[in-house]
A and B are shown apart, each in its own frame.
Chain A
Amino acid sequence: MLKIKNIHARVEEKAILNGINLEVKPGEVHAIMGPNGSGKSTLASVLAGREDFEVTDGSIEFLGKNLLEMSPEDRAREGVFLAFQYPVEIPGVSTVNFMKTALNKIREYRGQDTLDAVSFLTLMKEKIKLVEIDQSLLNRSLNEGFSGGEKKRNEIFQMAMLEPKLAILDETDSGLDIDALRIVANGVNKLRTKDNATIVVTHYQRLLDYIVPDYVHVLYKGKIVKSGTKELALELEEKGYDWIKSEMEVA
């Protein structure tokens, strides 16, 4: 589904990613871990197509297409979804209205009919149940005055609505208490199918207790320095990132 080859990226003059290689297949969950500043969020942004980051080398293939040539909105329409670490506020625009616009833009791109109000609401009701979100929240201005947990839950609700092929969760656990974390993780788990894939970007192991990854990759100084299964996350938790750092210094 996703083939990242030797990706180098920089912001302004500073190199952040120094040759990332990663392959994600349908049905898989990959966790990207690493200390602060290792390039985790940059990788997420590069996949989503954020302009601030310049890709200087390498290639990314998504479902057989060259992802780097696509505009951010077309990436979204092709099925890439980014759950933001810091979801922005859009005053006066409700989540309902926002999702209706987004879904219909995506459907238009795929040559499908736009949804009328009734079918949209039916779909929405179904997804509300799935991710356990309070409907009144969805009628309020997008993210305005939302708590940290509400913002993240709203991201997962949007993910449920748009049914992406590849979901990237950027530090979705940051700022969540344990109950919110569980609800958010449950939502993500319910959305898993054999045809879609998830990349979980996180600093801490605890999210991975709820969203169990097939693979764990450790990012350090813009490179994947270690890959393994979920046990690697536990080992990291126990030994701390200094373990990776010192190992790298020795090497």
Chain B
Amino acid sequence: MSKDNQVLEEFTSKEYEHGWTIDLESDSAPKGLSEEIVRFISAKKNEPEWLLEWRLKAYRHWKTMKEPQWPNVKYPAINYQDIIYYSAPKQKAQPKNLSEVDPELIKTFEKLGISLTEQKRLTGVAVDAVIDSISVATTFKDKLGELGIIFCSFSEAVKEHPELVKKYLGSVVPPNDNYFAALNSAVFSDGSFCYIPKGVRCPMELSTYFRINAANTGQFERTLIVAEDASYVSYLEGCTAPMRDENQLHAAVVELYAKKDAEIKYSTVQNWYPGDKNGKGGIYNFVTKRGLCAGDHSKISWTQVETGSAITWKYPSCILKGDYSNGEFYSVAVTNNYQQADTGTKMIHIGKHTRSRIVSKGISAGKSQNSYRGQVHILKRAENARNFSQCDSLLMGDQCGAHTFPYIDVENKSAHVEHEATTSKIGEDQIFYCLQRGIDEEAAVALIVNGYAKEVLKQLPMEFAVEAQKLLALTLEGSVG
């Protein structure tokens, strides 16, 4: 047993491998938040008047709100006046292809093992790379353009497709939805916009890699995906951030809008800097993600692998408004050292015959705290709604915590709601069994953890699943042997 503890200790004391910074000159706003800053951001981006007004309204509302206290996480108070709300890497001109992209940036991607060229060549993934709030490379755009698919940075969408942005921005997550959504609405810098026309099946996975770079820069990404009738899109979001001492605030908003018979699959692998092994530093990840199944027979599926951030506060949700619409949430959340995660989902059943499925796998190691918080709400008119929820927790060592907070509100008697929950520990017996077959501790833990998370990982697109598996192993393994 003593050796086991030692092994677990080593697993859990691994330093973050993606810790470095790159030198990109920042074009930053001064610290702090005010109407002037909101105007500065909007002016910097040459935004139309209506968008500035939209931001200002959100800002004014935000000022009246209080930071939520209910999540099961602890952190020192955030000084919102000590944050830089806008920073863009300097670029001579908008690059036409990858060779025009800052080589420093390419180097960063290569360190992460996700070079754009490789991505292009091997996987055919169109990558919209976001470094410090401004998109610098967009690939495969022409090919998508032929199908009428719009996939571009948010700023570009505001310029090129203002009518679409105006129509759908805030339609799923209103600017006054919650504290962090309001903050994002006031100061969002950039993000991705995606529009799939009627009847079009997007032929490739659309992907964005987020990076957080300049010191003290809050990241306020905004993603909006609209799927017209009978269309399909699979969208990947992956991120990793450089090591630094001060906590960084990240408050993104993701809105998905699915019309009749449309399907949106949204996958995330999140690997932001979690802080060092003493709990110093790390990203605060306060994200609002929500999808609206607006049309009948529409479907929205969230898959997330969360390994990073000092604090994760995130509930990708589905509003099942259309009859026969379908919402899914698959999640693996790993916490190690002093990380805290309070994550889960909300499934709001409004339409008739709506279905939802929740599979949540928490893994806690070190001195971390991992909470699942999920709400299933069946409204009065939602005849024959169905929900299945499964919430499993896996503990490594005896100093971490796993918590489950399910909220179930059923207002219609025809509903079927099932909830299953388990808690287990990686057993000494399991590890010894692996050892006896010649598999060392490190590989054994990777094997067991990946097996545990398999149901979620298999939801990810192939190349992403491989990356996610490596990431899980990396997060939990140490320099054993």
Q: Is the CB of A72 within 8 A of B452?
A: no
Contacts of A105 in B (CB 8 A): 437-440, 443
Contact between A91 and B435, CB atoms less than 8 A apart: no
Contact between B436 and A90 (Cβ–Cβ < 8 Å)? no
What is the CB-to-nearest-CB distance from B443 to chain A, in angstroms, rounded to a whole number?
6
Contacts of B435 in A (CB 8 A): 49, 71-73, 76
Indicate whether B122 reaches chain A with its CB closer than 8 angstroms. Answer: no
- Other than the given A71-B435, A93-B451, 5 more pairs (CB < 8 A) read A76-B435, A76-B436, A92-B450, A101-B447, A162-B437
Whether A50 pairs with B432 at a CB distance below 8 angstroms is: yes
Q: List 28 A-B contacts (CB under 8 A).
A: A51-B432, A72-B432, A72-B435, A73-B435, A73-B438, A73-B441, A77-B438, A88-B430, A88-B433, A90-B434, A91-B451, A92-B450, A92-B451, A93-B448, A93-B451, A98-B434, A101-B439, A101-B447, A102-B434, A102-B437, A102-B438, A105-B437, A105-B440, A105-B443, A109-B438, A141-B451, A158-B437, A162-B438
- Does B1 belong to the interface (CB within 8 Å)? yes
B454 within 8 A of A: yes
- Which chain B positions have C-beta within 8 A of A77? 438
Q: Would you give the shortest CB distance from A165 to chain B, in whole angstroms? A: 13
> How far, in angstroms, from A90 to B481 measured CA to CA in the complex?
23
Q: Does B427 contact A (CB under 8 A)?
A: yes
User: In the complex, what distance in Å separates the CA atom of A93 from the CA atom of B455?
Assistant: 11
Determine the residue in chain A with the shortest Cβ distance to B432: A50
Evaluate contact between A90 and B437: CB separation under 8 angstroms: no
Task: Report, nearest first, the 6 A-B pairs whose CB atoms are least far apart.
Answer: A92-B451, A93-B451, A92-B454, A102-B437, A76-B438, A72-B435
Chain B residue with the shortest CB-CB distance to A72? B435
Q: A107 CA to B317 CA in the complex, in Å?
A: 47
Binding site for A on B (CB under 8 A): 1-4, 427, 429-430, 432-441, 443, 447-448, 450-455, 481
Pairwise interchain contact A93-B436, C-beta atoms closer than 8 A: no
CB distance from A14 to the nearest CB of B (A): 16
Contact B433 A87 (CB under 8 A): yes
* Most central of B435, B448, B453 by chain A CB within 10 Å: B435
A75-B438 Cα distance, complex, nearest whole Å = 8
Residue of B nearest to A51 (CB): B3
Distance between Cα atoms of A230 and B430 in the complex (Å): 35
A84 CB within 8 Å of chain B: yes
Q: Which residues of A contact B427 (CB under 8 A)?
A: 88
B453 and A92 form a contact (CB under 8 A): yes
Q: Is B443 in contact with A101, judged by CB distance below 8 angstroms?
A: yes
CB of A84 within 8 A of CB of B433, answer: yes
Chain A's closest residue to B441 (CB) is A73
Task: Give the contacting residue for B447; candidates A52, A75, A90, A109; CB below 8 A.
Answer: A90
- Interface membership of chain A positions 35-77, coded 1 if the CB is closer than 8 angstroms to chain B and 0 otherwise: 0000000000000111110000000000000000001110111
Among A51, A52, A82, max chain B CB count under 10 A is at A51
CB of A218 closer than 8 Å to a CB of B: no
In Å, the complex CA distance between A158 and B454 comes to 23
Contacts A51-B3, A72-B432; is A93 near B447 (CB within 8 Å)? yes
Q: Which residues of A contact B438 (CB under 8 A)?
A: 73, 76-77, 102-103, 105-106, 109, 162
Interface size class of A (residues with CB under 8 A): 20 to 34
Q: How far is the CB of B1 from chain A (nearest CB, A)?
A: 7
Q: How far is the CA of A101 from the CA of B453 in the complex (A)?
A: 18
In the docked arrangement, what's the CA distance between A82 and B434, Å? 11
Cβ distance A13 to chain B, nearest Cβ, rounded Å: 15
Find out whether the CB atom of B429 lies under 8 angstroms from the CB atom of A88. yes
Q: For residue A91, which residues in chain B have a CB less than 8 angstroms away from its CB?
A: 451-452
Which residues from chain B contact A98 at a C-beta distance below 8 Å? 434, 437, 447
B453 / chain A contacts, CB cutoff of 8 Å: 92
Instruction: Tell me if B439 and A102 are in contact (CB < 8 A).
Output: yes
B432 to chain A, nearest CB (A): 6
Q: Note all chain A residues with C-beta closer than 8 A to B443.
A: 101, 105
Complex alpha-carbon distance, A158 and B1, angstroms: 26
Q: Which residues of B have CB within 8 Å of A84?
A: 433, 436
Q: Which of A51, A84, A92, A93 has the most CB of B within 10 A?
A: A92
By a CB distance below 8 angstroms, the chain A residues around B429 are 88
Closest residue of chain A to B394, judged by CB? Answer: A91
Question: How far, in Å, is B247 (CB) from chain A's closest CB?
Answer: 34
User: What residues of chain B lie closer than 8 Å to A71, measured between beta carbons?
Assistant: 435, 481
- Whole-angstrom distance between the alpha carbons of A61 and B440 in the complex? 22
A90 contacts which of B3, B440, B448, B455 (Cβ < 8 Å)? B448
A141, closest chain B residue (CB): B451
Minimum CB–CB distance for B11 against chain A, Å: 16
B4 cross-chain contacts in A, Cβ below 8 A: 51
Cα(A139)–Cα(B439), bound, Å: 19
Instruction: State A101–B442 Cα separation when bound (angstroms).
Output: 12
Least CB distance from B9 to A in Å reads: 15
- Shortest A15–chain B CB gap in Å is 19
Which residue of A is nearest B458, CB measured?
A92
Contact A48 B439, beta carbon cutoff 8 Å: no
Question: In whole Å, how far is A74's beta carbon from the nearest beta carbon of chain B?
Answer: 8
A84–B438 alpha-carbon span in the complex (Å)? 15
Contact A90 B439, CB 8 Å, known A98-B447, A141-B451 = no
List of B residues within 8 angstroms of A88 by Cβ: 427, 429-430, 433
Contacts of A141 on B, CB cut-off 8 Å?
451
Q: Which of A208-237 contact B (CB under 8 A)?
A: none
Nearest Cβ on chain A to B330's Cβ, whole angstroms: 14
- The residue in chain B whose Cβ has the minimal distance to the Cβ of A142 is B451
- The complex places the Cα of A92 from the Cα of B430 at a distance, in Å, of 13
Given the complex of chains A and B, what is the CA–CA distance between A101 and B1 in angstroms? 24
Specify the chain A residue showing the minimal Cβ separation from B361: A92
A81 and B451 CA atoms in complex are apart in Å by 23
